[in-house]
Amino acid sequence: MLSALSIGPTRQLLYAVLFVSVLAGISGSAQELGAKKIIQRSCEVNRKDWDFAPAYDYFQRERDGEKTKTYEEMMILGSRYERLVAIDDQPLSPEDEAKEQRRFQKAMAQRQQESPDERAERVGKYQREIDRDHALTGELTKALDFTLSGKEMLGRHEVYVLKGTPRAGYRPLNKLAKALTGMQGTLWIDAVNFHWVKAEAEVVSPVWIYGFAARIEPGTHFELDQTPIADGLWMPSHFLMDAKAKVLLLFPHYERDDINYFNYHKPGSSPAGADDAK
């Protein structure tokens, strides 16, 4: 993440807006400085959103080919529990519902009877996954050089549009981040509060991972959409990944994730529109 400037956050926001408002008449170097300020502010806001994520349960609908499955994602004693609630947007059969209820009760009993070490291991594993996702999001802004291309309307939001290209000399944090070395991307950032409204990235040159065992191919594509769920708080609403790879240069591999997130709510509360999940 970009280092903090000496001026306060209010003036950082003001300066970013000023850079955009005079975009047509500024030099390339000044435009780049404006992009850096916008990215910095957006990373701070995005991190605060993610820090609040464990305080909310939600539903997620996953599409796998022609089939969809909908789950309720619940925070239970320090980590997520995933409960199947619908298949192809239809309620579970009585038999499947009973099976899910037994699985849920078993998981609850196991978590309630854990030793302190067992609980620490489970919660620690969950936290490491969250930290990995945070780190990868932050790496996006380190791996790419962003330039400000202007402002536009995206749905109901006025957004800054920033284009990213691979940054020379970037050193990946880990194997996952290595994929960013062959990517270009676009960020749509809310012009008022600096939340990420949308992010896209695409692999434009092959990237080796795991030594020479696998290669991520051009055409691999990622999309993330976010939406406000409470005052000043945004969460993901859609994630799409089309991943193309070759294993040992011989075996093509294709993977697609298409996930919608909805009905965010505090644990124990009745989510609005929960019946839509079934």
Q: How many CB atoms lie within 10 A of CB 121?
A: 12
Higher-scoring residue by pLDDT: 210, 27: 210
Q: Is the pLDDT of residue 5 over 70?
A: no
Q: What is the mean pLDDT of residues 61-80?
A: 91
What local confidence, expressed as pLDDT, does residue 21 receive? Answer: 29
SS3 45: helix
Q: Where are the domains of the chain?
A: 9-55+118-263, 57-113
- Longest Cα separation, the chain: 67
What local confidence, expressed as pLDDT, does residue 182 receive? Answer: 83
Cβ burial, residue 16 (10 Å; 0-12/13-18/19+): buried
Amino acid identity, residue 97?
A: E
Percent of the chain at pLDDT exceeding 70: 77
Give the burial string for 76-104 (b: 16+ CB within 10 Å, else e).
eeebbbebbbbeeeeebeeeeeeebeeeb
* 33-37, 110-114, 149-153, 249-253: range with lowest mean pLDDT: 249-253
Q: Is the pLDDT of residue 4 over 60?
A: no
The helix (run of H) or strand (run of E) holding residue 97 is: helix 94-112
Q: What is the mean pLDDT of residues 45-74?
A: 90
pLDDT band with cut points at 50, 70 and 90 for residue 167? confident
Q: How far apart are CA 241 and CA 257, in angstroms?
A: 5
Dig out the tokens for 235 from the structure.
Answer: 């969460």
Q: What is the mean pLDDT of residues 158-184?
A: 83
What local confidence, expressed as pLDDT, does residue 25 receive? Answer: 28
Higher-scoring residue by pLDDT: 1, 103: 103
Pairing of β 251-265 and β 57-64: antiparallel
* Polymer length in residues for the chain: 278
pLDDT band with cut points at 50, 70 and 90 for residue 201? confident
* Strands annotated E in 194-250: 196-203, 207-209, 214-216, 221-230, 233-247
